[in-house]
Amino acid sequence: MKWILTDIDGVLTDGRVAIEINGNETKTISYRDLDAIGIGRNAGYDFIFITGEDTDMARAVTKRFNVTKAYYGKKDKQAAMNEISVEFGIPVAEMLYIGDSDRDAPALEIVGLGIAPSDASDKAKSAANILTDSKGGHGVLLEVVNKLMNGKWRFP
Protein backbone atom coordinates (compact mmCIF):
# COMPACT_ATOMS: atom_id res chain seq x y z
CA MET A 1 0.00 0.00 0.00
CA LYS A 2 1.22 3.48 -0.86
CA TRP A 3 0.08 6.27 1.42
CA ILE A 4 -0.72 9.91 0.73
CA LEU A 5 -0.67 11.89 3.96
CA THR A 6 -2.26 15.32 3.96
CA ASP A 7 -3.25 18.22 6.12
CA ILE A 8 -6.90 19.29 5.86
CA ASP A 9 -7.10 23.08 6.26
CA GLY A 10 -5.24 24.89 3.52
CA VAL A 11 -4.97 21.74 1.40
CA LEU A 12 -8.47 20.27 1.18
CA THR A 13 -9.98 23.62 2.13
CA ASP A 14 -8.81 27.10 1.23
CA GLY A 15 -7.83 27.63 4.86
CA ARG A 16 -10.72 29.93 5.65
CA VAL A 17 -13.50 29.24 8.11
CA ALA A 18 -16.89 30.87 8.51
CA ILE A 19 -18.13 31.06 12.08
CA GLU A 20 -21.86 31.40 12.47
CA ILE A 21 -23.42 33.37 15.33
CA ASN A 22 -24.18 30.08 17.13
CA GLY A 23 -20.50 29.13 16.91
CA ASN A 24 -20.84 26.52 14.17
CA GLU A 25 -18.01 26.44 11.65
CA THR A 26 -18.36 25.95 7.92
CA LYS A 27 -15.64 25.23 5.38
CA THR A 28 -15.61 24.53 1.66
CA ILE A 29 -14.05 21.51 -0.04
CA SER A 30 -13.65 20.65 -3.71
CA TYR A 31 -15.49 17.72 -5.27
CA ARG A 32 -12.35 17.21 -7.33
CA ASP A 33 -10.56 16.26 -4.12
CA LEU A 34 -13.39 13.90 -3.17
CA ASP A 35 -12.94 12.24 -6.56
CA ALA A 36 -9.21 11.95 -5.87
CA ILE A 37 -9.86 9.50 -3.04
CA GLY A 38 -11.58 6.94 -5.28
CA ILE A 39 -9.16 7.48 -8.15
CA GLY A 40 -6.18 7.13 -5.82
CA ARG A 41 -7.54 4.02 -4.15
CA ASN A 42 -8.09 2.39 -7.54
CA ALA A 43 -4.42 3.12 -8.29
CA GLY A 44 -3.21 1.53 -5.03
CA TYR A 45 -3.00 4.59 -2.79
CA ASP A 46 -4.69 5.17 0.53
CA PHE A 47 -4.96 8.34 2.55
CA ILE A 48 -4.22 9.58 6.05
CA PHE A 49 -5.39 12.98 7.26
CA ILE A 50 -3.26 14.87 9.78
CA THR A 51 -4.68 18.06 11.20
CA GLY A 52 -3.85 20.44 13.99
CA GLU A 53 -7.58 20.78 14.64
CA ASP A 54 -9.57 18.49 16.90
CA THR A 55 -13.06 19.65 16.02
CA ASP A 56 -16.35 18.26 14.83
CA MET A 57 -15.63 19.97 11.49
CA ALA A 58 -12.32 18.12 11.05
CA ARG A 59 -14.07 14.85 11.81
CA ALA A 60 -16.89 15.70 9.39
CA VAL A 61 -14.37 16.34 6.59
CA THR A 62 -12.67 13.02 7.33
CA LYS A 63 -16.02 11.22 7.26
CA ARG A 64 -17.11 12.95 4.03
CA PHE A 65 -13.85 11.92 2.34
CA ASN A 66 -14.32 8.35 3.65
CA VAL A 67 -10.82 8.33 5.13
CA THR A 68 -10.54 5.80 7.93
CA LYS A 69 -7.25 6.95 9.43
CA ALA A 70 -6.91 10.49 10.73
CA TYR A 71 -4.83 12.20 13.39
CA TYR A 72 -6.49 15.16 15.12
CA GLY A 73 -4.96 17.87 17.29
CA LYS A 74 -1.51 17.29 15.79
CA LYS A 75 -0.05 20.79 15.87
CA ASP A 76 3.48 19.30 15.71
CA LYS A 77 3.34 17.71 12.28
CA GLN A 78 6.92 16.44 12.46
CA ALA A 79 6.06 14.49 15.62
CA ALA A 80 2.96 13.16 13.83
CA MET A 81 5.13 11.85 10.98
CA ASN A 82 7.32 10.03 13.50
CA GLU A 83 4.22 8.60 15.23
CA ILE A 84 2.82 7.34 11.92
CA SER A 85 6.21 5.88 11.01
CA VAL A 86 6.20 3.78 14.17
CA GLU A 87 2.52 2.80 13.93
CA PHE A 88 2.62 1.73 10.28
CA GLY A 89 6.28 0.72 10.00
CA ILE A 90 6.82 3.25 7.21
CA PRO A 91 10.17 5.04 7.25
CA VAL A 92 9.63 8.81 7.25
CA ALA A 93 11.83 8.97 4.15
CA GLU A 94 9.19 6.88 2.34
CA MET A 95 6.29 9.18 3.22
CA LEU A 96 4.54 11.67 0.97
CA TYR A 97 2.99 14.59 2.85
CA ILE A 98 0.97 17.57 1.63
CA GLY A 99 0.96 20.65 3.88
CA ASP A 100 0.47 24.37 3.54
CA SER A 101 1.50 26.22 6.69
CA ASP A 102 4.53 27.13 8.75
CA ARG A 103 3.60 24.35 11.17
CA ASP A 104 3.76 21.85 8.27
CA ALA A 105 7.25 22.93 7.19
CA PRO A 106 9.25 20.66 9.56
CA ALA A 107 7.26 17.64 8.36
CA LEU A 108 7.64 18.66 4.71
CA GLU A 109 11.41 18.79 5.25
CA ILE A 110 11.77 15.27 6.70
CA VAL A 111 9.46 13.22 4.47
CA GLY A 112 10.59 11.64 1.23
CA LEU A 113 8.29 13.85 -0.84
CA GLY A 114 6.92 17.07 0.60
CA ILE A 115 4.25 18.84 -1.44
CA ALA A 116 2.74 22.27 -0.82
CA PRO A 117 -0.17 24.02 -2.55
CA SER A 118 0.74 27.01 -4.71
CA ASP A 119 -0.71 29.39 -2.10
CA ALA A 120 1.07 27.83 0.90
CA SER A 121 3.03 29.91 3.37
CA ASP A 122 6.54 30.90 2.32
CA LYS A 123 8.02 28.59 4.94
CA ALA A 124 5.99 25.60 3.68
CA LYS A 125 6.90 26.38 0.06
CA SER A 126 10.61 26.49 0.96
CA ALA A 127 10.38 23.19 2.84
CA ALA A 128 8.48 21.33 0.10
CA ASN A 129 10.08 19.41 -2.74
CA ILE A 130 7.20 20.25 -5.09
CA LEU A 131 4.56 22.98 -5.36
CA THR A 132 1.21 22.21 -6.94
CA ASP A 133 -0.36 24.37 -9.60
CA SER A 134 -3.58 24.28 -7.55
CA LYS A 135 -4.37 26.44 -4.57
CA GLY A 136 -5.61 24.94 -1.32
CA GLY A 137 -9.27 23.96 -1.56
CA HIS A 138 -9.14 23.90 -5.35
CA GLY A 139 -8.16 20.35 -6.29
CA VAL A 140 -4.71 19.96 -4.71
CA LEU A 141 -5.31 16.31 -3.81
CA LEU A 142 -6.58 15.44 -7.29
CA GLU A 143 -3.57 17.14 -8.86
CA VAL A 144 -1.22 15.11 -6.67
CA VAL A 145 -2.99 11.82 -7.43
CA ASN A 146 -3.09 12.52 -11.17
CA LYS A 147 0.58 13.50 -11.37
CA LEU A 148 1.60 10.40 -9.43
CA MET A 149 -0.53 8.17 -11.65
CA ASN A 150 0.67 9.66 -14.94
CA GLY A 151 4.30 9.45 -13.85
CA LYS A 152 4.96 13.18 -13.84
CA TRP A 153 5.85 12.85 -10.16
CA ARG A 154 7.44 9.65 -8.89
CA PHE A 155 7.19 8.37 -5.38
CA PRO A 156 8.51 6.26 -3.78
Q: pLDDT tens digits for 120-147?
A: 999 999 999 999 999 999 999 999 999 9
Is 155 domain-assigned?
no
With the CA atoms of 150, 14, 88 and 110 taken in that order, what torsion angle do they form, in degrees rounded to the nearest 10?
Answer: 80
Is 156 domain-assigned?
no
Nearest to 104 by CA among 81, 87, 85: 81
| pLDDT tens, residue by residue, 13-70 | 999 999 999 988 889 999 999 999 999 999 999 999 999 999 998 999 999 999 999 9
| pLDDT tens, residue by residue, 55-101 | 998 999 999 999 999 999 999 999 999 999 999 999 999 999 999 99
Q: In which domain, by residue range, is 84 found? A: 2-149
Is 82 domain-assigned?
yes
Q: Is 3 helix (H, G, I), strand (E, B) or coil?
A: strand
Q: Report residue 145 CA to chain centroid gap.
A: 12
85-112 burial string, b = 16+ CB within 10 Å, else e?
beeeebebeebbbbbbbebbbbbbbbbe
Q: Is 135 exposed, middle or buried (0-12, 13-18, 19+ CB in 10 A)?
A: middle
Domain count, the chain: 1
User: Roughly how many angstroms between the first and final C-alpha of the chain, as a whole number?
Assistant: 11
CATH number at residue 93: 3.40.50.1000
What φ, ψ does residue 96 adopt, rounded to 5°? -115, 125
